[in-house]
């Protein structure tokens, strides 16, 4: 537990989605944390839901723990792994950090496993192992996410490469 978490700033578990959004756009963290919904007609959201529903259909879906929903658990070479299915590896750092957050959440509950990112459209997989460096990175991002969540106002909008397809764009550029 880091200083921010132990200081009582917030003991509310952070959903993995907020970790992912933090790496893309901190403003989205605030909007999502304050239950402001994105444009539900956004084609990227629709495709993400389709992929979630259709990819790996035989696997048990969504394992929930501490407000996080991991896509599914799998057994690979006799080892249990947490699998996150993503539509693209374009946001690879966000994907890795979200999965690392899940691995750390499990570790904090006495469960030590590896993770795997799967990109069915690209036919790619990537193993994620929670080492000390990645663990510290997750802890620092969790602290930053908690600070954003409790802020009275959202961070100012900043134009990024992700804005073009963002389902929250109307909150920033309308």
CATH of the domain at 71: 3.90.320.10
Residue 100 structure tokens: 């690392």
Q: What is the pLDDT of residue 1?
A: 40
Alpha carbon distance 126, 124 (integer Å)? 7
Could you report the per-residue pLDDT of 146-174, keeping only the tens digit for each? 999 999 999 999 998 888 878 887 788 87
Reported confidence tier of residue 6, pLDDT bands at 50, 70, 90: very low
Residue 173 inside a domain? The answer is no
Instruction: Tell me if 134 is assigned to some domain.
Output: yes
Output the pLDDT for position 136.
98
- In whole numbers, what is the pLDDT of the chain averaged over residues? 84
CA–CA dist 61, 104 (Å, integer): 20
Residue 174: inside a domain, yes or no?
A: no
CA 134/CA 153 separation, integer angstroms: 29
Is residue 167 assigned to a domain?
no
The pLDDT score that the predictor gives to residue 36 is: 82
Q: Does residue 164 lie within any of the structural domains?
A: no
Query: What confidence tens digit (pLDDT) does each residue in 17-51 have?
Result: 999 999 999 999 999 899 887 766 766 665 556 55
With respect to residue 114, please indicate whether it lies within any of the assigned structural domains: yes
Please tell me what DSSP assigns to residue 152: S
Q: What is the mean pLDDT of residues 123-129?
A: 96
Q: Span 117-143, mean pLDDT?
A: 96
- Count of domains for the chain: 1
Domain that holds residue 150: 3-155
Q: How many CA atoms lie within 13 A of 155 on its CB side?
A: 17
Domain assignment present for residue 132? The answer is yes
Count of alpha carbons within 13 Å of 60, Cβ hemisphere only?
A: 8
Per-residue model confidence (pLDDT) at position 140: 97
**145 lies in some domain:** yes
Q: Are 6 and 59 in contact (CB under 8 A)?
A: no
Compute φ and ψ for 79, nearest 5 degrees.
Answer: -105, 140
Q: Which two tokens stand for residue 99?
A: 């999965």
């Amino acid at each position: 537990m880091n200083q921010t978490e132990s200081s009582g700033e917030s003991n509310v578990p952070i959903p993995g989605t907020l970790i992912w959004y933090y790496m893309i756009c901190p403003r989205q963290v605030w909007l999502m944390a304050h239950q402001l919904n994105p444009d539900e007609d956004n084609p990227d959201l629709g495709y993400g839901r389709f992929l979630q529903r259709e990819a790996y259909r035989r696997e048990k879906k969504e394992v929930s723990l501490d407000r996080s929903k991991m896509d599914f658990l799998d057994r690979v070479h006799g080892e249990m792994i947490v699998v996150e299915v993503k539509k693209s590896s374009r946001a690879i750092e966000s994907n890795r950090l979200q999965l690392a957050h899940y691995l750390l959440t499990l570790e904090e509950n006495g469960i030590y496993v590896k993770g795997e990112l799967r990109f069915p459209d690209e036919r790619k997989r990537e193993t994620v192992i929670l080492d000390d460096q990645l663990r510290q990175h997750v802890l620092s991002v969790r602290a930053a996410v908690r600070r954003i969540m409790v802020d009275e106002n959202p961070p100012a909008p900043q134009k990024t490469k992700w804005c073009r397809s963002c389902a929250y764009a109307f909150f920033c550029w309308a």
